[in-house]
Amino acid sequence: MKILAVDSSGLVASVAILEDDVLLSEYTVDYKKTHSQTLMPMIDEIVRMTELDMGSLDAIAVAGGPGSFTGLRIGSSTVKGIADVLHIPVISVPTVDALAYNLVGAAGLVVPIMDARRSQVYTGIYEFNEKNELETIEPQCALAITDLLDKLNNIGRNVTFLGDGVPVFREKIAENLKVPFNFAPAHMSRQRAGAVGALAEIYYKSGKYTDASEHKPDYLRKSQAEREREEKMAGEKNA
């Protein structure tokens, strides 16, 4: 099956075309240009390079969140526009799962960390079993970095970190983590649409996909206005 995969959940913009177990093309840019300007030209580039007939796509995959709210929506709106014309399903791959899948085969725990601001990270705790399948120990969530490190100390196993949270929290990790740890090398340390697409194929086979109209990003966080309103209402209730 042919899948177009897109990840614009963070600073990185990444697009890929996969056919069964072959990665036909992958294009990743980690540069401060808005995804609105880069994503479609990047898709066009790999489509032309591989002489892809868009009509031959079976599904379209997207890093469905968490991540930058705007980045997620640019990616999701793009795949929703493509899927609307082609009438193909959308496979929403959890962003942190896809990041972990960059390190398929790694020994020990794989812990992606994305900078979520306010001293929090979007993270999850994973490992790979003997069949190289991704096993989730802690599903993706928004967590204070200190809480994450406590959890990892409690589990007590070796950890490999990756993600754009690494440069932000490197020192904090070194100070507080009591288990052996290391960081993923450059070519595996950020979002890659190839990993999104490879996981998407597994998801697709287990029936985890939606119609374009049903797809929406999974932000893992409410908007600030909603949070403040809920706090206010809870406060009034308690008063």
Rg (CA), the chain: 18
Is residue 49 part of the contact set for another protein (CB under 8 A)? no
Smallest Cα–Cα separation from 101: which of 149, 145, 163, 42?
Answer: 163
Provide the CA 105 distance to its chain's centre, in angstroms.
18
Considering only residues 114-153, where is the footprint of another protein by CB under 8 A?
none
Is 190 among the residues that bind another protein (CB under 8 A)? no
Q: Considering the complex, what minimum distance in angstroms separates the CB of residue 2 from another protein?
A: 14
Residue 29 touching another protein (CB under 8 A): no
When binding is defined by CB under 8 A, the residue of 23, 26, 30, 38 that contacts another protein is 38
Binding footprint of another protein, residue count (CB under 8 A): 34
Binding segment for another protein (CB under 8 A), chosen from 13-21, 139-147, 176-184, 210-218, is 210-218
Whole-number Å distance between alpha carbons of 112 and 36: 25
Which of 23, 29, 86, 141 binds another protein (CB under 8 A)? It is 86
Nearer to another protein, 80 or 192 (CB): 80
Q: Please name the residues in contact with 8: beta carbons below 8 A apart, sequence gap of 6 or more.
A: 14, 35, 39, 63, 67, 71, 72, 74, 75, 78
Which residues, including other chains, have CB under 8 Å from residue 124's CB and lie 6 or more apart?
94, 96, 97, 100, 111, 112, 136, 138, 139, 140, 141
Residue 50 sits in the site that holds another protein (CB under 8 A)? no
C-beta of 54: minimal distance to another protein in Å?
A: 5
Shortest Cβ distance from residue 213 to another protein (Å)? 4
Closer residue to another protein in complex, CB, 73/190: 73
Q: Does 68 bind another protein (CB under 8 A)?
A: no
Q: Which residue has the tokens 């990041």?
A: 99
> Does residue number 56 form part of the binding site for another protein (CB under 8 A)?
no
Question: Tokens at residue 177, please?
Answer: 């983590």
The Cα–Cα gap between 98 and 163 comes to 11
Smaller CB separation from another protein, 92 or 160? 92
Nearer CB in complex with another protein: 44/135: 44
Of 47, 39, 43, 102, which Cα lies nearest the Cα of 73? 39
Q: Which three-class secondary structure state does DSSP give residue 98?
A: helix
List residues near another protein by CB under 8 A. Answer: 34, 36-41, 43-44, 54, 69-70, 73-74, 76-82, 84-86, 212-213, 216-217, 219, 223-226, 229
